[in-house]
Amino acid sequence: MIPAYRVTEQTYRVDVSSTQTSGESVRQQLPFAPMLYGKTISSIVSYPGFNGFFGNQVNCYMTLKNRRNETLMYRFPLIETWSEQSTLAAYNSRRPRMFRLYDVDLSKSYIEVSDFGGTINIGQPFCSILFYTGISAELTAKTVKEL
């Protein structure tokens, strides 16, 4: 087993707002984020939206693309990135996922919700996603020396 490490350079938080009040199969485009454009994502953490709506990330899937419109992650369940403020932190036993997603373009990416399971006002964020740019790498004797 090779342990891994992450180095954070910048963080950028994106609120994802709904254009529907409820329903199924909602697809919400992510906004253009200049700070993340072409960068490498090392970590992702997601939080609840307005007034704790969507108090977990159940039924929320994120598709992340790069600048060449290639799919880096297709329908990645956001529960994997859920912040530890939720009871659902038990899902991954507080083992944060690590990423090495190159050349990201957020404006080509989107969130899909298969079922809201409640009502939300238009324009209110139903979840909030924090992206970390930086390096994720396997910890080897060489990288230990560099660190």
Partner 1 sequence: MQPIIERSYLTEVNLGTVSVGRTINFQYIPELQDVTVYGIQVYAGEDQQTSPNGAAVVPNAGLPSIAVTLVVGDDEIVTRQSCFDLRSANVAGFVRTYANQKINLVKSYITLVSVTGISNNQSILFNFIYRR
How far apart CA 40 and CA 66 sit, in angstroms, is: 10
What residues have CB less than 8 Å from 106, skipping those under 6 apart?
Answer: 14, 30, 31, 32, 33, 36, 37, 64, 131
Among 14, 16, 72, 104, binds partner 1 (CB under 8 A): 72
75 lines the binding site for partner 1 (CB under 8 A): yes
Assess contact for 76 and 30: CB atoms under 8 A. no
Considering beta carbons, is residue 12 or 91 the nearer one to partner 1? Answer: 91
14 lines the binding site for partner 1 (CB under 8 A): no
Question: What single-letter amino acid sits at 57?
Answer: Q
Assess contact for 47 and 85: CB atoms under 8 A. yes
- Binding to partner 1 (CB under 8 A) within 86-145 occurs at 90-95, 97-102, 112, 114-115, 117, 136-138
74 lines the binding site for partner 1 (CB under 8 A): yes
Angle, alpha carbons 110-107-96 (nearest 5°): 60
69 is written with which tokens? 């419109």
77 lines the binding site for partner 1 (CB under 8 A): yes
Considering beta carbons, is residue 102 or 123 the nearer one to partner 1? Answer: 102
Considering beta carbons, is residue 19 or 71 the nearer one to partner 1? Answer: 71
37 lines the binding site for partner 1 (CB under 8 A): no
In 3D space, the residue among 28, 6, 1 whose CA is nearest the CA of residue 15 turns out to be 28
Considering beta carbons, is residue 66 or 123 the nearer one to partner 1? Answer: 66
Residues that bind partner 1 (CB under 8 A): 1-2, 4, 24-25, 58-59, 61, 71-77, 79-80, 90-95, 97-102, 112, 114-115, 117, 136-138
